[in-house]
């Protein structure tokens, strides 16, 4: 859908808000993650660039604004790499946990593709996520109702970031 927003509607700034699972013991449920970059185990980039490891990075302008807005709101916010995976709970669970020890903040499913499309079409993109589950702290969890009714901080940050220009 991001491609259609860019190509058919001329959108120049895309902010994805959604949930993610923590891979890092210092990142807890209900906290925000701003994806500075997204590693991926998907072939979406390899289909176009088989000979390169093309880095998927956020727009610095959006990232910087979102970070300062979140901090001004007093929200616990982490900035760093995320893993965009084709599957949330993969057969490579232990490898994913190892990534958390290397500083990867969370696992999700969209940021790498979003950043790739943004680079391809020369538009700005940022992924803002609320941690809904922890793969490293299993005692931390959120209910479906909590996810539905309380994960609004990421939306506030996203909207404020877009109107900050």
Kindly give the confidence (pLDDT) of every residue in the chain, 165 residues in length, as a single tens digit, with 9 standing for 90 and above. 899 999 999 999 999 999 999 999 999 999 999 999 999 988 888 888 888 888 899 999 999 999 999 999 999 999 999 999 987 666 667 778 889 999 999 999 999 999 999 999 999 999 999 999 999 988 888 888 888 877 999 999 999 999 996
Q: Of 30, 42, 28, whose CA–CA distance to 111 is shortest?
A: 42
Could you tell me if residue 64 is left (phi over 0), alpha (psi between -120 and 50 degrees) or otherwise beta? alpha
Q: Does the active-site annotation cover 133?
A: yes
CATH of the domain spanning 2-163, picked from 3.40.50.300, 3.40.50.1580, 3.90.76.10, 2.30.30.90: 3.40.50.1580
In the three-class reduction of DSSP (H, G, I as helix; E, B as strand; rest coil), residue 32 is classed as strand
Place of tokens 């793969």: 135
Its pTM surpasses 0.75 = yes
Identified catalytic residue from 8, 64, 133, 139: 133
């Amino acid at each position: 859908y991001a491609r259609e927003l860019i190509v058919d509607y001329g959108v120049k700034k895309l902010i994805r808000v959604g949930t993610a699972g923590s891979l890092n013991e210092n990142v807890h449920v209900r906290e925000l993650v701003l994806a500075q970059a997204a590693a991926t185990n998907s072939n979406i980039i390899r289909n176009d660039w088989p000979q390169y490891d093309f880095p998927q990075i956020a727009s610095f302008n959006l990232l910087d604004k979102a970070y300062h807005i979140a901090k001004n709101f007093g929200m616990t916010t982490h900035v760093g790499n995320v893993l965009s995976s084709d599957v949330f709970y993969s057969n490579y669970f232990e490898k994913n946990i190892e990534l958390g020890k290397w500083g990867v903040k969370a696992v999700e499913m969209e940021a790498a593709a979003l950043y790739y499309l943004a680079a391809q079409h020369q538009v700005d993109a940022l992924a803002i996520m609320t941690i809904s589950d922890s793969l490293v702290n299993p005692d931390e969890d959120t209910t479906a109702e909590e996810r539905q009714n309380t994960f609004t901080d990421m939306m506030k940050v996203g909207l404020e970031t877009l109107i900050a220009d």
